[in-house]
Amino acid sequence: MSKRYLSVLALLVATPAFAQLSGTAILTASPAAGGQFNDTIVLHNTGTTTIGTFWLGWIPGEDFLPSEPTAITAPLGWYGYAVPDFYGTYSLEFYAYSPAYYLPAGGSLTGFGFTTFDSPQTLQGISTEYPRYHCTDSYLYIGSPEADPGFLFNVSVQTGSTCGSADYNCDGDVGTDADIEAFFACLAGNCPAAPCTSNADFNGDGDVGTDADIEAFFRVLAGGAC
């Protein structure tokens, strides 16, 4: 084996592998009062290095969110704030206060949230001001914002559902035969009278009186989740 080959081999062995920055995120939008939506985000670190900054609806110099985010929340050790654009659009920057709070490789982080007038359909769509990008195209950084090349990715958007109550007839007794009777009467078109708000779209997915509503009703009646 030649000395040159051995030198090259030694160099390859001694050279550390480059850390890879990558991630995914899911935004769940649930209807709120006044035509707004409460949005929550779960961030997953799919790379081999840390994540210290998550900048939603943004690439350097361009902001994609049509409406200003309000009621912003961030995970423990992180801070979030809205960034305005010259064209009336916004982005939402989240960053960790210190490396102690960076998201490690393979980890997931909840607690990102905000309220907006932008519907899930709007957020899934193309930016009106920057049509090369989607509204939820976003950037990750290993540490501080723009301290490294970053990673561009798209945050997926899904619609959250909110189930009705097991006290379906709103009489104060939860999960009784009367609630079951009231639910099936509502499926047939005779829903409880106001001020009771129970309706035939029990799982809140926009489809009224489906098998999914019936399944969700009995899950909640048994004490399960929506």
Instruction: Tell whether the model's pLDDT for residue 12 goes beyond 50.
Output: no
Pairing of strands 78-84, 90-96: antiparallel
Q: What is the pLDDT of residues 202-216, one digit of tens each?
A: 877 667 888 988 988
Q: What pLDDT is recorded for position 161? A: 63
- Each residue's pLDDT tens digit, 125-173: 999 999 999 999 999 999 999 999 999 999 999 877 667 888 899 988 8
Considering the domain boundaries, does residue 9 fall inside one? no
Average pLDDT over residues 91-117: 96
Out of 118, 139, 159, pick the residue that ends a domain: 159
**Number of C-beta neighbours around residue 81 at 10 A:** 12
Mean pLDDT of all residues in 57-75: 97
Range of the domain at 90: 23-159
95 and 188 together in one domain: no
| 50 vs 206: CA distance, rounded Å | 39
pLDDT at 18: 61
Whether residue 142 is found in the same domain as residue 196:
no
Q: Domain check: are 62 and 109 in the same one?
A: yes
Find out whether 205 and 199 touch, Cβ atoms under 8 Å: no
- In this prediction, residue 22 carries a pLDDT of 97
User: Which of 114, 133, 159 corresponds to the end of one domain?
Assistant: 159
The answer as to whether 147 is a domain residue is yes
Question: What's the domain count of the chain?
Answer: 2
172 occurs within a structural domain: yes
126 assigned to some structural domain: yes
